[in-house]
Amino acid sequence: MLYAIVEGVKESASPTSKGQCPFCESEMVPKCGDFKSWHWAHKRVVSCDAWYKPETEWHRRWKNVFGIKNCEVILIRAGQKHIADIQTIHGRIIELQNSPINLETIESREKFYGSNMIWIINGIHFIENFITYPTQGTEFDTYTPEFEKFAKMHGFTPKYRMLGEENRERFKWKRPKQVWGHAKAQVYIDFGNEFLFFIIQGLGTSNGTGANISKKQFIIEHGGDESLVSTVINIK
């Protein structure tokens, strides 16, 4: 985890500090090496959040973009308690998924966090099976004031793309992770570059459409620190 409770206050790890897990209150030790983001680990194996999964540098970098207040947020709903990876300033939950997932996990997370959640999947593990290419042909008109006038003059209604559709792409997914077809929340796939691939249609199948959304745009939209965008690109 990125944060522990040090003398009653949520704090990041530093070499000599001692902390407590904000969830299970057991002792945590700082891990402050040269290569990975500084973080905390439980000193002993304890039963912490049953949903807790081993964290990678990928998790830590994404969490860090949203800052101390907005990541590792403990939520209690309907008698259940869990730590959300990120709760944005707008109250949206972002769950970071690095490892394979099963249906039960997808459903339980979506039930607990509600429809107002987003999945970011680390796609680096299946990048070689996933190709994207621009949508063929143009069934849409390109907006210009002149064209708008022309259409009016000739009595037809132009068909424009909705905002954000200009970067729409098709994808082909070899050996798709079919379980994701059950996800109801929005899904973005992180292939390590400067974009997140937002799935519009066909998630979990071998063909579909999506759109490249720049990580910077995503971070701004969800209230993260855009100056940290480079830390979530090409994570080693």
With binding defined as CB under 5 A, does residue 23 bind Zn ion?
A: yes
In angstroms, give the least distance from the CB of 27 to Zn ion.
Answer: 9
Q: Which is nearer to Zn ion, 25 or 148 (CB)?
A: 25
With binding defined as CB under 5 A, does residue 213 bind Zn ion?
A: no
What is residue 32's three-state secondary structure? coil
Asked if 153 contacts 86 with a C-beta cutoff of 8 angstroms, the reply is: no
Q: Which is nearer to Zn ion, 19 or 210 (CB)?
A: 19
> 49: closest CA among 93, 79, 80, 18?
80
With binding defined as CB under 5 A, does residue 6 bind Zn ion?
A: no
In angstroms, give the least distance from the CB of 167 to Zn ion.
Answer: 41
With binding defined as CB under 5 A, does residue 21 bind Zn ion?
A: yes
Tell me how crowded residue 95 is: count the other CB atoms within 10 A of its CB: 20
How many residues line the site for Zn ion (CB under 5 A)?
4
Asked if 113 contacts 95 with a C-beta cutoff of 8 angstroms, the reply is: yes
With binding defined as CB under 5 A, does residue 5 bind Zn ion?
A: no
Q: Which is nearer to Zn ion, 21 or 101 (CB)?
A: 21
Q: Which is nearer to Zn ion, 9 or 89 (CB)?
A: 9
Stretches 18-26, 70-78, 117-125, 204-212: which one binds Zn ion (CB under 5 A)? 18-26
- Which tokens is 23 given? 């969830």
In angstroms, give the least distance from the CB of 1 to Zn ion.
Answer: 8
> Using only C-alpha atoms, what is the Rg of the chain?
21
Residue 234 sits at the vertex; the CA angle it makes with 32 and 176, to the nearest 5 degrees, is 115
Helices (H), 31-116: 57-70, 103-113
Q: Which of residues 24-63 bind Zn ion (CB under 5 A)?
A: 24, 48
Q: Which is nearer to Zn ion, 26 or 186 (CB)?
A: 26
Residues 95, 137: Cα–Cα separation, whole Å: 35
Where does this chain bind Zn ion (CB under 5 A)?
A: 21, 23-24, 48
